[in-house]
Amino acid sequence: MFEKAFYQIFPQFSHKLHHFFTMTCQGGGMKTSISTILCAASLVFLNFAMGLRAAEQVSSFDLFAAALVADPVAETRGESSGAETDSPGVVGKVTLPYADMKRLWEELREKDEKPEKEKTPINSMVMSAKYQLEVSKDKSSLTADYRVQVFSDEWQIVPLIGGEVNLENVELDKGSIVRSHCAYALLVKGEGEYQVKLTLRAAGFDSWSNLSGLKLQPAVATLSRLQVSGLPKDQVIRLQGGDSAEDVHSSVSLGDMDFLLAGDGGELTLLMESAAMADAPVLESVWEIQSQMFVRYAEGRLNYEARVFAQSDEGSGLSMDLVLPQNVASVVVDGEDIVSWRLARSEEGVRKLRIAWKTRDQLDRRFQLSYQIAQSPLSKEWTIVPPEVAVEDASAKHLIAIETVEGLEWKGEGLSSAVASRRLPNWLREHLGKVEFVTVETQGALELQANWLPVLETLQATVSLAKFETRLVNDGAMLVQAEYHVQQNGALDWTVNIPSLDQILTCEMNGKAVKPVRRNDNELEFHLKAPPLGKKDADRYTVISFSYALQSTAFDPVSGQVTVELPQTDLFIHHLDWDLEIPEVYETTAVEGNVQLASKGSASKKQASISTHTVRLQKELCRGERPAVELYYRRRGIDD
């Protein structure tokens, strides 16, 4: 009964379970002890309860089968499995109590139905970070206490602190402290909570620069606090780094300060200043500015690069408002002590650029400013716009160097041609290099009259030499071989028109076979790459050669005339050589056309002849016309 129930629960193992519950032993044959059967059955059911894989379960069945074959009880009686016996077969069964079977079955189901553990959105987090900074004149000591929570069993790197600090001592229960991405970090494996304490060394406040201070990069933390002690009398710490900290408790008389940090992990700069300065109200400054500017026109935009010098006699010197045109773009501000800058649109239709500095009461400022303003090339009025302060500044002065544009003429008040470069500031000379420019000094926007001058374009390519060989036979068939030496300044798509494009036989460029593009019925197009740099102008050429066949009028048995034409190109040809060959039984009597007979001492250095079957022709300075001749002939041996 139990066997039947087990088969119903585990039908997939029915072919194996037969060995568990029913074994037939022939008399005098294999004898199996009950202890062996129970041991093997226990192994099987333990494997079921532990949820082992099918392969492991099969191995347990095999172990059970092996136990049946090798019975220790039978061996002690001296009986062998191969002995013959007349005893009738004996049937043995193994039975488990229902309560045990039910318990094993429920444990197996609970393990299969147990849901997987959900993963958290983050693997680790610094739950709290407490920093205690003890400052002194020569050196400072920073103690950092962390409570870190890890939510994953995998390896984790948890950043703790970076900046201008050096590690001196470590206290932690598990894990290791490593250096990662310019910061000290906790390397740990395993879910749980970890306590970490670091002792670090930093520079004393005597070595803190007024501008740079002491830089720290605390960990991203849920709760982050910084306590500072040991401050000199009437000195306080001011934190820079945006809205990164709040002074929750201060005792300046005792030299202690307490800050609640935002915990966003951003860089903090600790600056030391007098308590009186820290308590003083921030006053706006009225600035006077001067600038040196370099302006270049490119792709429909005027690109400005400026060095701005600002001075003020009042206020805290912590901020400045500059006015730029409404269509300004690509603004970049850079300079010492700048903490932030922001470009905003004002109600007057201009853009206000607000620059903020870290250190107060510095009333001489210097910074670099670059921006772009759209400029239509078709406009007849161009405006050069230097930066201006929001309040009218009668003392403003701007030295502007403008790179000239080829073919564009400017006229404007105070505009002059390029002055000697040695009279300009060094940085302007570096930007200008050897380009042509104009200069002007102005207090505000400069209006220029722009006039595009007509420009005479030069040829980008010419043919220095064109060579042709034409052969005619009696039936009028013609073979032409052509070679062009094309001198060019850059890449070029060159076309050539052939009188009748019946068949192209060969086509090469610089000795390599190419396949030209066929444009119209009789046009071939070649793409010529730019010649290599460094070659002399005379050597910057491409050799194109091709041959083709066509059909003309058949020769008359006695005398007649034939018209022969060559390919045509729009490129200017400096010199053309042409060898024209007719059948040997004929001789040339006259030649007419736009080419001439080659004479002695010509560039071809060939003897002119009209008395044989070969005629040598030439032409100088040819462009846009097709070389052609009317050739008159007669049969040799016929008298006039």
Q: Is residue 284 part of a domain?
A: no
* pLDDT exceeds cutoff 60 at 138: yes
Of 452, 469, 488, the one marking the end of a domain is 452
* Distances 369 to 311, 426, 472 between C-alpha atoms, Å: 16, 17, 75
Same domain, 363 and 396: yes
- The residue ranking higher by pLDDT, 332 or 232, is 332
Of 55, 86, 113, the one marking the end of a domain is 113
- The residue ranking higher by pLDDT, 266 or 248, is 266
Least confident of 52-66, 92-106, 399-413, 519-533: 52-66
Mean pLDDT calculated for residue range 469-477: 92
Of 452, 471, 494, the one marking the end of a domain is 452
Same domain, 148 and 88: no
Same domain, 502 and 589: yes
Same domain, 443 and 474: no
Same domain, 440 and 492: no
Q: Is residue 570 part of a domain?
A: yes
Longest dimension (CA), the chain: 143
Torsion of CA 497, 501, 505, 507, to 10 degrees: 20
Which residues are registered as beta bridge partners of 285? Answer: none
pLDDT band at 96 (very low <50, low <70, confident <90, very high): confident
Strand 268-274 to strand 235-240: parallel, antiparallel, or no bridges (unpaired)?
antiparallel
Q: Is residue 448 part of a domain?
A: yes
With a CB cutoff of 8 Å and minimum separation 6, the contacts of 342 are 353, 354
Q: Is residue 580 part of a domain?
A: yes
Q: Is residue 286 part of a domain?
A: no
pLDDT band at 254 (very low <50, low <70, confident <90, very high): low
Mean pLDDT calculated for residue range 262-291: 80
pLDDT band at 453 (very low <50, low <70, confident <90, very high): confident
Backbone angles phi, psi at 72, to 5 degrees: -65, -30
Same domain, 300 and 433: yes
* Residue found by looking up tokens 């005027």 in the block: 302
Which residues are registered as beta bridge partners of 485? Answer: 465, 543
Q: What's the first-to-final CA gap in the chain, in angstroms?
A: 136
Write the Ramachandran bin of 116: left for phi over 0, alpha for psi from -120 to 50, otherwise beta: beta
Inter-residue contact 231 to 209 (CB < 8 Å): no
Q: What is the number of domains present in the chain?
A: 4
CATH code, 385: 2.60.40.3650
Least confident of 442-446, 494-498, 519-523: 519-523
**Which tokens belong to 593?**
């056309």
Distance (Å, whole) CA 352 – CA 345: 6
**What pLDDT score was predicted for residue 552?**
86
Amino acid identity at 242: G
Write out the residue range of the structural domain in which residue 97 sits.
Answer: 2-113
Same domain, 40 and 67: yes
* pLDDT exceeds cutoff 50 at 607: no
Same domain, 340 and 416: yes
* Distances 613 to 197, 422, 471, 554, 631 between C-alpha atoms, Å: 107, 73, 10, 16, 11
Query: How far from the centroid of its chain's Cα atoms is residue 26's Cα?
Result: 82
DSSP string of 181-245?
A: TTEEEEEEESSEEEEEEEEEEEE-GGG--TTT-EEEEEPPEEEEEEEEE-PPTTEEEEEESSS-E
Q: Is residue 525 part of a domain?
A: yes
Same domain, 422 and 474: no
The string of pLDDT tens digits covering residues 36-83 is: 444 445 544 444 444 444 434 433 434 343 334 344 444 444 444 444
pLDDT band at 267 (very low <50, low <70, confident <90, very high): confident
Tally of residues, the chain: 640
Same domain, 627 and 581: yes
Q: Is residue 148 part of a domain?
A: yes
Same domain, 301 and 443: yes
Same domain, 332 and 355: yes
Dihedral angle sign, alpha carbons of residues 217, 222, 228, 234: positive
**What pLDDT score was predicted for residue 278?**
60
Strand 214-218 to strand 155-163: parallel, antiparallel, or no bridges (unpaired)?
antiparallel
CATH code, 168: 2.60.40.1730
Q: Is residue 640 part of a domain?
A: no
pLDDT band at 428 (very low <50, low <70, confident <90, very high): confident
